[in-house]
Structure 1
């Protein structure tokens, strides 16, 4: 099966809030240059961030254990939010934060649907007697 892109998103400028907006104008827009870029495929979630130093983090769908949506009052008013993904890498749990995502509940539902398709066993359930 080939890997297909389900969703591509960027951290929205609205996620910085009014204070960051003023500071970014004073700093010639530099905070906006290092925004997160998120790509969700049927096999993994790729988070790329940074301006001077690029960091790419791949989260395999089958390793996801929990997806949490966090929205402050400011984020609810602007229609964005943060998605916290908890995954297992070996024996340790990792936490990944997708910041400033538009329609965070819809995106988390897409991730949950992909997880159900990928990580859950297919076919009839086996029972032990």
Structure 2
């Protein structure tokens, strides 16, 4: 699927799309959300991975969108608690370099987190590593 992203002239190919699963809330957080608001899943995090960037959107009342360029990613870590492993979900921590500071982005409650992290890693290998024959300076 190729989609033209508004504001850019290049076509980006969406490789993976996901949302924070309902299972990631846990029983206590789910009950609290139902009692307080009645709308526990409206502000879930949405993740889209294209061949150029990682797009994170979250929020219901206030929408936040964060774009992380693939070539700026420095590290990808998968975290899974026992509860998350039983349900087949997990969190992915993406560390990126924005300017001179390092940012940390947490992709919460994604299904099959190892596959998602491997997709990000493969994209980073294609984007950030130099292509062609290696040049040496002597």
TM-score by length of 2: 0.90
Matched, 1:16 2:25: yes
Question: Aligned equivalents of 2:130 and 2:40: distance in 1?
Answer: 43
Give the match for residue 85 of structure 2: 76
Structure 1 gaps of 5+ residues are none
How far apart are residue 28 of structure 1 and its match? Answer: 4.7
CA distance in 2, matches of 1:87, 1:30: 32
Unpaired segments of 5 or more residues in structure 2? 1-9
Distance across 2 between alignment mates of 1:31 and 1:63: 33
Q: Matched residues in 2 for 1:69 and 1:30: separation?
A: 28
Matched residues in 2 for 1:14 and 1:27: separation? 19
Task: Please give the TM-score of this superposition, normalised by the length of structure 1.
Answer: 0.96
Does the alignment pair 1:96 with 2:105? yes
From 19, 40, 54, the equivalent of 1:45 is: 54
Q: What is the correspondence of 1:29-44 to structure 2 with a 5 Å cutoff? A: 29-44=38-53
What is the rounded CA distance, in whole Å, between the counterparts of 2:70 and 2:52 in structure 1?
Answer: 6
Q: CA RMSD in A?
A: 1.1
SS at match of 2:11: coil
Per the alignment, residue 115 of structure 2 pairs with: 106
Which of 1 and 2 has higher RCO (CA within 8 Å, sep 6+)? Answer: 1
Give the ranges of 4+ consecutive aligned residues of structure 1 lying more than 4 Å apart after TM superposition: none
Q: How many residues align?
A: 129
